[in-house]
Amino acid sequence: MKVVECIALTKVFQDFWGRDRVRAVDKLDLDINPGEIFGLLGPNGSGKSTTIKMLLGLLYPTSGSARVFGRVPTDTAIKARIGFMPEESYLYRFLTARETLDYYGRLFKLDRFERRRRTDQLIEMIGLKRAANRPVGTYSKGMARRIGLAQALVNDPDFLILDEPTTGLDPIGTRQIKDVIRILGERGKTVLLCSHLLADVEDVCDRVAIMYGGKMQTIGTVRELLVHKDETQITTRRLDAKALSRVREMIGQAGGEVVGVAQPTDRLEDLFLRVVGGAQREQLETSGAESTVGVSDFLSGERKGGVELVASLVDAGKQMVEGPAPGKEPVEVKPAKAAARREVLERLTEKEPSPAASEPVESPVASAKPDKAVIDRLVGGGSQEPKS
Amino acid sequence: MSIENFSIVLIGLGVLIALLALAYVVRRAFGRGSGEMGGWEVAGAHRIIWAIARTTLSEGLRTRVASGFVILIVAAVPFFYFSAEGDGTTTGRVQMFMSYSLGFCGFLLSLLAILFACRSLSQEIAGRQIFGIVSKPVPRWQVIVGKFTGVMAMIVLLMCYVGVTTYAGTMLLVGQFKSNLKAEMISYGSLSPEQADAAVASLDGVRGEGRRGADSPIIDAMARATGLSKEDAVTTLLRLPEETRADLRRFDELRRQILLARASIGPEVPEKQIREEVERRFAKMREEGTLPPNLSDREIREELNKQMFGMYCTITTNELRAWTLKGPPPTKEQDRIMSLRFKLTVPEMTPAAVHPVTGEQLEENTLLAVWYIGDPQSAHFYEHIEAIPTGAVQEIEFPGKAVQADGTITIAFLNIDPRGADVVIDLEKGALEVLYVVGSFELNLLMGCMAMLIPIACLAAFGVCASTFLSFPVGSLVVMCLFLISASMGFIKDAMAITEDYIAEKPTTEQEVRTVVIGAMEWLLSIGDIAVTNDLMEGRAIGWARLWGETWRYMLLKTGITLAIAVLVFRRRELAAIIV
């Protein structure tokens, strides 16, 4: 079953007298599959947000149909499986971060202990532990965006809708959000990411669609859309002029043509992260958001429990190094993660096993050990299948 | 154009505007492209409703606009405690304090309910915090009910504060009087501190009919408590300053008439007999050809009706008028005291005079009269002769045993004033009634506070309903106007000339139109009929039956219908819609 299915979805806004004025979305056909990170791109006013609002039941379609988890968006039952982060953090200025998350947890009818557990973990995840008891009205825009993200995750959603999630965030926050999206994707969540910041979408999305004038212009996987099929790129260590001319000669002999030769540069984002990361390692104080990694344990780890999740991740890492345990299916891990997992596994095996890891612990505080967040990010995995 | 046609055109215009406004609301709610948001799930609804209510309550306590009201209300009661003076007596201070405290705070709470309710939802829609709620599994009816509950939770909290502080203030004023009296009894009355203590404590146990002078049961109670003879007790009291003695008399009234809950019954006006007499006289005038030529039949009947009713309420010299009142239950209590409350109006001032037979001095503006209470054949027949001050409400007390076995009580009035003055007891304005104690002041104050919540709940529901389709300033202005119209409905009815004084048995079409329109307005906008402040100031019982009647009519029915409309509109509203 598709997570989102839109058929000829149309939204027309009218003026006071009921005359059609703006066709914001025009006969949009859109499918989003389970476990997919889908990017919806387009310039301002292209109909992205209107589409999202129709999927949430905040707007009603003029014609066509939209289905989320096979049901109409106005059905409140499906909302329990959706997390929504709007384009701006529309929060109650008078509530603190903790109260805000507790309130949204109540709307999902979570019990008190569960709300407290999730609130603690989410606040740690978004790096606002020190500012958790300050009214949200005193937050900077970036801090408010982090709360916006946390409230979207409080119900451990199967389908996460993020509208311009990185707007107003510093590069660290942007990277964190992208990490969260990536990890959630690896855990089988479906994510609809709506943005006009192309780099964000490119970094995390499996498939993207570009809208303009309310219509779908193109759709496909990132690789399909971006690959230059008639060019080949070779990356080597630095070559001198003589070696370069020999390479050009060889390429010419092979019937090819050198289009350009240049030294690769870092992206500014990578440089920024390196500099600020160094400052954080020196533990310089900040009144704003702190840098954190990983996602909260409860996100899709519910079926196993926080401690068991860590154990399963360690197992997954061991399989990478030693091969699968007898009678167990190997866990499929992306090659890019293998080195990182090996490193984590080495660190883990050096330590004595924690007493908490040997038996399930129900206390939310005990299950929220910071190391697990690191493990989550580096090892990936957790639940390998989307929730049904 | 005649004045009648002109008023029909005006009313027609008003109705047209109202219909256009209704059409706008319906179009906004049920326009093209609208959907239905959420179902009517009730499982676990209380948790979500309470979550929304809690946040609304927090908003009320933490945001500046609402908390300004809260501070004002919190400060108002102590302010009135210190500033209430009245006529200088403890009774006057208590009455003024209760009146100002409950009246002012009730008004402020009404305003707060309107502003807060109108703000609660419309601001969330304008500020888009509502996205965070309706994108969660929350049916929209729960949002509406949650908002209403939050507003009412805040109002109830503040009402509790007002009720408790008003009670505390009243008791403090009473305590202040007692401690002053004790000090003066020691210094002026030469009583020992123990005797003064006992004398003051005896005030709460005074029983028997309130009488003036040496016959007052206060004297008996004090004499018993202090061990003094009755004469010594009188002497002691006479040594007190005049203001203190006046205050003591009024304090006894306060204890007997205000700091308790009394039910009342009044005599029935024999309307049928009056109508028959009017018709008989009208027919006779027609027969004799004496009908005034410049008046219509309706106007002549109206005039005759007024004359007959006036005659019924007027008692001439040496005339006896008797009424039978139904209602007070026969009592088995030995010392149950009932009160006859009345107001005598004398068309012309009565001069001071000496009674030609008894030689008694009659002061000006008094009327010598006798009240007979109970069955003359019974042992519990009560008679009260006095030169009664006119133009002001008076009370006399009589034993509860005067009530007959069938639950009726006969009251008769004999005008024996030697100055030949006629007296009017205006039964239509409640100038004669019998009061009897049915409960305590504490319970009555509690019921009063509950009764004050009824109109406020209606206003809160109007506010929440308005906020589903109107912005905060527009919504609050509309509801404020409705509140003002509702508060001045009596005046509007008078101005539109549809009260019984104007409408005859066969009204004209124009009068009927006016009656229907104003009647509909009254039904739509009425938000409660209990005049809590007046009732408490006069020690009248609010009563569970009346409270339940009002609660059912206004808090459950009208508030329920208003919230249902709010839910219907809100369910179909596109919250992210833009008007281009």
> How far A57 CA sits from the closest chain B CA (Å)?
7
* Cα–Cα distance, B468 to B567 (Å, whole number): 8
Q: Note the pLDDT of residue B397.
A: 83
> Considering B419, B441, B463, which residue would you say is the last residue of a domain?
B441
Under DSSP, the state recorded for B256 is: I
Q: How far is CA A9 from CA A31, A40, B532, in A?
A: 12, 15, 58
In a domain, residue B177? The reply is no
Q: What is the full DSSP assignment across B351-403?
A: PPEE-TTT--EE-TTEEEEEEEES-TTSTT-EEEEEEEESSSEEEEEEEGGGS
- Helix (H) or strand (E) holding B340, with range, is strand B337-343
* A284 three-state secondary structure: coil
- Say if B298 falls within a structural domain: yes
So what's the pLDDT on residue B377? 82
Helix axes of B472-487 and B509-525: crossing angle, nearest 10 degrees: 120
Helix axes A112-125, A370-379, angle to 10 degrees: 70
pLDDT band at A329 (very low <50, low <70, confident <90, very high): very low
In a domain, B495, yes or no: yes
| Residue to substitute from A92, A104, A163, interface B, most B β-carbons within 10 A | A92
pLDDT of residue B28: 63
Per CB-CB distance under 8 Å, the chain B contacts of A214 are: none
B276 and B319 part of one domain? yes
Q: Please check whether residue B266 lies inside any domain of the structure.
A: no
B553-561 contact pairs (CB < 8 A, 24+): B554/B454, B554/B455, B554/B457, B554/B458, B554/B526, B554/B527, B554/B528, B555/B453, B555/B454, B555/B457, B555/B458, B558/B458, B558/B461, B558/B527, B559/B457, B559/B458, B559/B460, B559/B461
**Tokens in use for B244?**
């203190």
Rg (CA), chain A: 23
Residue B4: per-residue pLDDT:
66
- Inside any domain, residue B129: yes
Cα B402 off chain centre by: 28
Domain residues for the domain of B320 are: 271-441
Q: How confident is the model at residue B38, as a pLDDT?
A: 61
B129 vs A15, A53, A90: nearest CB? A90
What is residue A246's three-state secondary structure?
A: helix
CB B61 within 8 A of CB B116: no
C-alpha span between B425 and B415 (Å, rounded) = 12
Q: Is A95 on the interface with B (CB under 8 A)?
A: yes
Q: Which two tokens stand for residue B313?
A: 């309420």
Residues of A in contact with B35 (CB under 8 A): 57, 60, 72, 74
Q: Which of residues 121 through 140 in chain A touch B, CB cutoff 8 A?
A: 135
Which residue in the set B48, B128, B579 is minimally distant from A86, CB to CB? B128
- Residue A3, pLDDT score: 93
Q: Chain B partners of A62 at a C-beta cutoff of 8 Å?
A: 32-33
- Could you tell me which of A3, A91, A118 has the C-alpha nearest to residue A55? A3
Q: Residue B3: what pLDDT?
A: 63
CB under 8 A, 24+ apart: contacts of B3-6:
B4/B508, B4/B510, B5/B510
Residues B388 and B476 in one domain: no
Nearest-CA residue of chain B relative to A80? Answer: B137
Asked if residue B555 and residue B451 are part of one domain, the reply reads yes
The answer to whether the CB atoms of A107 and B138 lie below 8 A apart is: yes
**pLDDT confidence of A383, banded at 50, 70, 90?**
very low
How would you label A207-220 residue by residue, b for 16+ Cβ within 10 Å and e otherwise?
A: bbbbbeebebeebe
Query: Which pLDDT score is estimated for A280?
Result: 66
The vertex-B283 CA angle with B278 and B289, nearest 5°, equals: 125
Tell me if B275 is assigned to some domain.
Answer: yes
Q: Using one digit for the tens of pLDDT, what is the confidence trace for A331-380? A: 444 444 445 545 544 544 444 444 433 333 333 333 333 334 433 443 33
What's the CA gap between B45 and B161, in Å, rounded?
29
If asked whether residues B416 and B458 sit together in one domain, one would say no
Interface test with A, best of B136, B141, B571, B572 (most A CBs within 10 A): B136
Annotate A127-191 with three-state secondary structure.
CCCCCCCCEHHHCCHHHHHHHHHHHHHCCCCCEEEEECCCCCCCHHHHHHHHHHHHHHHHCCCEE
B chain contacts of residue A92, beta-carbon cutoff 8 Å: 55, 58-59, 129
Shortest distance, CA A50 to any CA of chain B (angstroms): 9
Residues B410, B430, single domain; the answer is yes
> How confident is the model at residue B446, as a pLDDT?
95
pLDDT in tens, chain B (580 residues): 566 677 778 778 888 888 888 887 676 666 544 555 666 778 889 999 999 999 999 988 887 777 888 899 999 999 999 988 877 788 888 999 999 999 999 999 999 999 999 998 998 999 999 999 989 999 999 999 999 999 999 999 999 999 999 999 999 999 988 888 888 888 887 788 888 888 888 888 777 666 667 777 888 888 888 888 888 888 888 888 888 888 887 888 888 888 889 888 888 888 888 888 889 998 998 898 888 888 878 788 888 888 888 888 899 888 898 988 887 666 566 667 888 899 999 888 888 888 777 778 888 888 899 999 988 888 778 888 888 888 888 888 888 888 888 888 889 999 988 888 889 998 888 889 998 888 899 999 999 999 999 999 999 999 999 999 899 999 999 999 999 988 888 787 777 665 555 555 556 777 777 778 778 888 888 888 788 888 898 889 988 888 999 888 888 899 999 999 999 888 888 888 765 5
Plot region of B147 (φ>0 → left; ψ -120 to 50 → alpha; else → beta): alpha
Together in a domain, B472 and B359: no
The 3-state DSSP class for residue B325 equals strand
Residues B287, B401 within the same domain: yes
pLDDT in tens, A138-189: 998 888 988 999 999 999 999 999 998 888 788 888 888 888 888 888 888 9
Q: Annotate A294-345 with three-state secondary structure.
A: CCCCHHHHCCCCHHHHHHHHHHHHHHHHHCCCCCCCCCCCCHHHHHHHHHHH
Distance CA A144, CA B145 (A): 28
How far apart CA B156 and CA B491 sit, in angstroms, is 30
The secondary element (H helix, E strand) that includes residue A378 is helix A370-379
Question: Of the residues B385, B415, B441, which one is the last residue of a structural domain?
Answer: B441
Q: Is the pLDDT of residue A118 over 70?
A: yes
Pairwise CB contact (< 8 Å): B136 & A53: no
**Which CATH number does the domain housing residue B300 bear?**
2.60.120
Q: What SS3 state is found at A347? A: helix
Nearest-angstrom CA–CA distance, A375 and A366:
16
Angstrom distance (rounded) from CA B325 to CA B207: 25
Q: Same domain, yes or no, for B384 and B448? A: no
Q: Is the pLDDT of residue A381 over 60?
A: no
**B-chain residues within 8 Å CB-CB of A56?**
131, 134-135
CA atoms of B238 and B403, how far apart (whole Å): 36
ipTM above 0.85, yes or no: no
What's the rounded Cα separation, in Å, for the pair B161 and B166? 8
Tell me how many domains chain B contains.
2
Chain A residue numbers touching B577 (CB-CB < 8 A): 13, 59
The H or E element that residue A12 is part of is: strand A4-14
Q: Do the beta carbons of residue B471 and residue B126 sit within 8 Å?
A: yes
Which residues between 7 and 26 in chain A have a beta carbon less than 8 angstroms from any beta carbon of chain B? 11-16, 18, 21-22
Same-domain pairing of B89 and B128: yes
| B298 and B431 part of one domain | yes
Same domain, B529 and B460: yes
What pLDDT score does A377 carry? Answer: 40
Tell me the pLDDT of chain B averaged across its residues.
Answer: 85
Q: Let me know if residue B226 belongs to a domain.
A: no
Residues 6+ apart with CB under 8 A from A241: none
Rounded to whole angstroms, the Cα distance separating A209 from A194 reads 10
- A38 in contact with B at a CB cutoff of 8 Å? no
Of B406, B441, B476, the residue that ends a domain is: B441
C-alpha R_g of chain B: 30
Q: Do B359 and B374 fall within a single domain?
A: yes
- Does residue B175 belong to any structural domain of this protein? no
Which value, to the nearest 10 degrees, does the dihedral of the CA atoms of residues B483, B489, B495, B497 take?
A: 150
Predicted local confidence at residue B130, as pLDDT: 92
Look at B580 and A74 and tell me if their CB atoms are within 8 Å: no
